[in-house]
Every structure is written in C-alpha cells, then in structure tokens.
Structure 1
Amino acid sequence: MWEEKLKIYDQLVAKCHRFKRKGKTVPYTSANGYMFSLLNKNGEIGIRFSKEVQEKYIKEFNSSIYRSHNAVMKGYVLIPDDMLHDLDNVANYLNEGYDYVMDLEPK
C-alpha cells in the first residue's frame, strides 16, 4: 500500500514544475526553508496551508488535520484518498502550498 501511495505522490509532485520531491524514507517537498507536503508512514498525503486556509479546506475536503509519526503537523490538511483520482486538481493545492511557504519569511 505504501509503495502505491509513493507512486501517486511522485506523480503528483511531477505535475508541479517549480519544485522536486525530496527525502528517501520520508518523501516530502520543501521550499524557502519550509516543508509544504509530506507522505507519512501510513501512506497519507498532507499539504500545508495558512491557518485560515487549513480550516477552510478541512471542511471543504471533509477531511482533518494531518498527522505524521503521531505529531500534529501545523497547517497541514490530510488529502483524502478520494481526491487522489484527480491529481491535476490536487496539484493545484500542492502549488498553493508552495506559494504559501514562499510568502513566509525565509528560514
């Protein structure tokens, strides 16, 4: 199952040309010193947004906050599996997460 989700995550990131996937055992994307997406050990994808957008998307996606290794990931939204059938749509959200961290003060 995790390997299948890794393939989906790689396909998702490949649709976005401004950044690349990083991490061997914990795949993620980062820019400007901040991670903005992650594939956890449970095969769940999370994307980071501002607090206001996070709350909006949790409702809109009928989802929840995102956890990785039993830690709540600040600003992240769990991307439901049913959304992964339209990676072009999810890529728009991933690009939005990239834009969000690029607007933050660099680390």
Structure 2
Amino acid sequence: MHSAVFMLYDDLARITNTHEWCADPADSQKLQLQNVVVRQLHLTMMRFASGENLIISRPQEAENLPGINTWMSRHSFRAMLFVPMFYQGELVGALGFLGRWVWRWRGLMYG
C-alpha cells in the first residue's frame, strides 16, 4: 500500500507529490512525481474539479483515462483511490491510495 498527497500548482497546470507514506521505502515515488504536467491527466482533473473521487479497482477500469492508465502501468499499480482536496471551494490537490493488487470495495462509504 502506498499513500500520497498531491498538490496542484501553476493555476492547476502541474501536480506534485508533497507527502508520501509507503511500507517499503524502496517503493517511494516522491522524487519522480514532482511538477508533473496535468495536461495528460485532463479527464481526471475534470472529475476532481467536480468533487468526484477516482476509484479504480482493476487496471482495465483506467483504459479510458489517458495519463492515469500510463502511470498505473509504469509504476505497476493495479488499484487506486484518489479523493480531491479543496480549500475555500477551490481544487488544490488530491489524496491518493495506491496498491499493487486488485481491491474489493466492500462497505466503503464516501461522498
């Protein structure tokens, strides 16, 4: 399991991993995920801006999300949950939980 805080900068043009928690320090991605251009994550950012969580239980669910599907395969993630973060009504980032196994969301309450 891997958790991270991603903050948006430059008028929502870039996202940066500002905080990270992982069981194995070798799994850290903080250095690789600095100032990532959001343009390739446009559909995901639109979902976040509307307050929608992003839940992907299996890699196939990311096939229609450009950028996310590439990122998942590059880093061997199979499941992820992202919750958008707002400050004074403005999207400022997202809290992410990422895993290398398929998740089953029994009893998960959100929204």
- State if a TM-score over 0.5 links the two structures: no
Larger strand fraction of residues: 2
> If you compute each CA radius of gyration, which structure gives the higher value, 1 or 2?
2
User: More helix per residue: 1 or 2?
Assistant: 1
